[in-house]
Structure 1
């Protein structure tokens, strides 16, 4: 059976040397986050911060920091859950291997939450200001809950069946919020709480909200699962946790997670918003202050000996990367059942997840054609952009499995080389402009608005990729050095960006024109312009992060010998992506050198965390 609560999990992790205690005083303001990120980077244990400055509650970080540890935490239920997922992907497997699915019926019995009269969470109350005031990065606008489980129910149909459990950013303090009375609730587009909030606004009612922190680890993971609308995450938590989730339902109020460590109770008035942010986010930049719903807090509950779990985010990979890998392992087999014709998808973590989606699909529409071209692939790409979390993708690059038996979206260098060998740049780029995009992505034309591009490739190779610049290669002023990063890909040092938002840069247009007139570029179909060529070319992680987080397809893609024909854009020369930081982008995350030095001392020989963090 899975863990009843967080304390039970922490005791087990400590007994198996997967958790260490830190008794040194630690500041929740920046310092705890630095330690957590370094522990993750080293592949270290979970860390229990017993002495948090100015706070009576201990904190635990890096709880889910390794794939081994997350699988250990859910070891009792993982086999049944994997069997359930594979059965969903292939129902006929039940007849072929019935013993493999023997645990599925019991797992399904755990889906419905169990209502109880009371629970440990009802033991005590506190105030927002007495909670750990975690700030992860120097420019963060206040303290944040970083592993919240935000629970709401549908105002039109209250109850578990249409509930939503999501991990939405919760700002505990800041200049705009009334102390101990208000918190910011930042939820992005395409999130399950949205329909509940919309229904409450339509009815002219407050939306009740409970924010759980801690409790059974299965609830934390359920809150980040990308489940379809109408499939309650709390049901999934029961299966993953190996027991029915125990909920206390006060008369006339939302149910409370009985085994939670903390619960922040409150409501959102129909049109109540206040500026929330800034916050150092998982794309590696700050999301800036914008109006988001404000939650009025009525009560803060906590259990005896409560522990505050936290994480921090930043440029990937971070601890949330482990969540993504775990979810992919669970659900990867379901992809063909959700998206017909799609065999594999990879939301690239190094590029911030939503900016870049790689996919392997089928191309079977016209199998008898003399020359194969993307057709079914385009249908599949549109499906990916039409539902679930893949709809937030900005660059969708899709290739046909039939062209290579070794093609995998998770082998990125090989995948991109495969695409660049085959793509027809005059035909195979398809833009969606003035559309919705990820709230955290500042490369577009406004908050939540930008563009997307589908890049599809099918058929035999069209070109042999080159690993060298042409002999007479030259760049127009004011562009600097150029280097081949990988076969077919050139990185160019560009001048600082100076154009306005939603505007092409004339200097990039001139560069694209010059490249289109340069002989010998046939084997170099992709050119990326950046602020720091050496940094961008240092490794694949840097290349992916810079290229896809700092560009908006419609604004920042140029082409040699480009043309527009009947509203279709293409080019005969190389594709040029402007991946410089723009004047309107949010700033990247930079560490606090004073705090970093304090943590260096903890990591040094003789320090309390020597050998635990780097």
Structure 2
């Protein structure tokens, strides 16, 4: 699928797209409809008429189900996507014979590389007078401070030349300015800090609206720095992403519905929020004295008959829960590369993705559970995960009842519960009194080895295999198996 329009047509053929003909407002009405549809598992929505914005249509709930996303990306398992870059790394040649045999891998690598093209559909139309007011951005909740871009593809390059594309909400202040909410651990904030240290007044930034489903997923993914996210988009899509270079030099997806070209003032900060976030509470950065960079829009480019894509958040499970589960599967191979003992991971959708993680490991030595806990907290975006539970490999991390049994059977709180005070946490966490400084909870619910039990052993009950064999006929007769 080349762009968002191809994806919408594909969803409609599958019966997973609702077309709404009635005119609705992007302020509260469209977001309320999207939440109702997502809670009811009704599929994606395309609003044909948007109050106050006759040029636009609006799409939402594009991440309808994990299975839909998987089929759209053309893979049997989402883990295959995370395995693609690892497979290429494993086959790097050492000598001449290896180089010759690896030509096929090099060809495969080239198929994922981005390509800069000379034309893009979104360049057909330009708005320079109050460009941000031209966009049907959402007001998602009644007490939100303003209208927001809720799934903007924020494109930029840091001073080292690493290209990034991220999703950071943008609060619109007026027709020319907005505030970008990129938290301190995000790539955008890191690049902004580099520009600040160099005392450069402006950081070129562009915001793309809409793209193919693979690029949309890449933008919100925790790709390890300094891997180029525009390259990683090729791994997710299964083919290289076509890019268009704006006059500012920023590369953006050529298949975008619209693009806002502008810059962030390196020495200019503004208040942002409140905003009803994915925990289901209003996030109020001003209460914790947080300020964020101000974005200046210089012009807006857009396709004929443009389609705006916005996401809505609130108490789970909404669209971000599907995104989180897809990312969980894609990045499991990368987690296994860093920690080979990891077997599986589950970020429960009601755990708001970064709130709770359950990880199973192949345990070989005493203390390995705590080793994994600490290692995970030191790895990428899992540094923000508040609660991590580690279980043994025979426990299905996706079966909450099995996890509860492991907690009840293998956890001695004095020995197996780890609390980390004064740690960096998710700034959006409503339970933390002084965000982003909070605490973390780790639970080692792995089966304990004798050394961890002071030599004591416990034996788990098992059926007698001879008795089971004897009763096979009766099982089939009376129990159906």
TM-score range, shorter chain: 0.7 to 0.9
- Quick check: 1:150 aligned with 2:148? no
The alpha-carbon deviation at position 381 of structure 1 amounts to 0.7
Counterpart of 1:183 (choices 165, 178, 182) is: 178
User: What is the SS of the residue equivalent to 1:276?
Assistant: coil
C-alpha distance in structure 1 between counterparts of 2:212 and 2:428, whole Å: 29
The alpha-carbon deviation at position 38 of structure 1 amounts to 1.7
Counterpart of 1:269 (choices 265, 269, 272) is: 265
Give the match for residue 30 of structure 1: 28
- Quick check: 1:351 aligned with 2:351? yes
Give the match for residue 459 of structure 1: 448
Deviations, residues 73-113 of structure 1 (Å, cap 9, x unaligned): 222xx35975464466678999xxxxxx9997665323322
C-alpha distance in structure 1 between counterparts of 2:399 and 2:77, whole Å: 29
User: What is the SS of the residue equivalent to 2:112?
Assistant: coil
Give the match for residue 193 of structure 2: 198
- Quick check: 1:427 aligned with 2:415? yes
User: What is the SS of the residue equivalent to 1:12?
Assistant: helix
C-alpha distance in structure 2 between counterparts of 1:442 and 1:463, whole Å: 42
Give the match for residue 473 of structure 1: none
Change in 2 beyond 3 A, CA 1:385/1:83? closer
Give the match for residue 427 of structure 2: 439
Change in 2 beyond 3 A, CA 1:102/1:220? farther
Give the match for residue 392 of structure 1: 384
Preserved CA contact (<8 Å) 1:214 1:260: yes
User: What is the SS of the residue equivalent to 2:415?
Assistant: coil
Deviations, residues 49-77 of structure 1 (Å, cap 9, x unaligned): 011111121101122212333233222xx
Give the match for residue 115 of structure 1: 116
Preserved CA contact (<8 Å) 1:88 1:334: no
TM-score by length of 2: 0.83
Change in 2 beyond 3 A, CA 1:88/1:211? closer
The alpha-carbon deviation at position 416 of structure 1 amounts to 2.4
Please list, as runs of the form range in 1=range in 2, the aligned pairs for 1:76-115 lying within 5 A after superposition: 78=75, 82-83=79-80, 85-86=82-83, 108-115=109-116
Please list, as runs of the form range in 1=range in 2, the aligned pairs for 1:570-609 lying within 5 A after superposition: none
TM-score by length of 1: 0.66
Please list, as runs of the form range in 1=range in 2, the aligned pairs for 1:461-480 lying within 5 A after superposition: none
Preserved CA contact (<8 Å) 2:279 2:430: no
Report the count of equivalent residues.
433
Report the RMSD for the aligned CA atoms in angstroms.
Answer: 2.7
C-alpha distance in structure 1 between counterparts of 2:104 and 2:321, whole Å: 29
Is the helix fraction higher in 1 or 2?
2
User: What is the SS of the residue equivalent to 1:110?
Assistant: helix
Range 44-53 or range 392-401, more displaced:
392-401
Give the match for residue 135 of structure 1: 139
C-alpha distance in structure 1 between counterparts of 2:104 and 2:142, whole Å: 48
The alpha-carbon deviation at position 129 of structure 1 amounts to 0.9
Range 306-315 or range 252-261, more displaced:
252-261
User: What is the SS of the residue equivalent to 2:292?
Assistant: strand
Deviations, residues 200-230 of structure 1 (Å, cap 9, x unaligned): 0111112111111112222111111221111
C-alpha distance in structure 2 between counterparts of 1:346 and 1:292, whole Å: 32
C-alpha distance in structure 1 between counterparts of 2:336 and 2:85, whole Å: 11
Q: Which consecutive residues of structure 2, in runs of 5 or more, have no partner in the other structure?
A: 92-101, 459-481
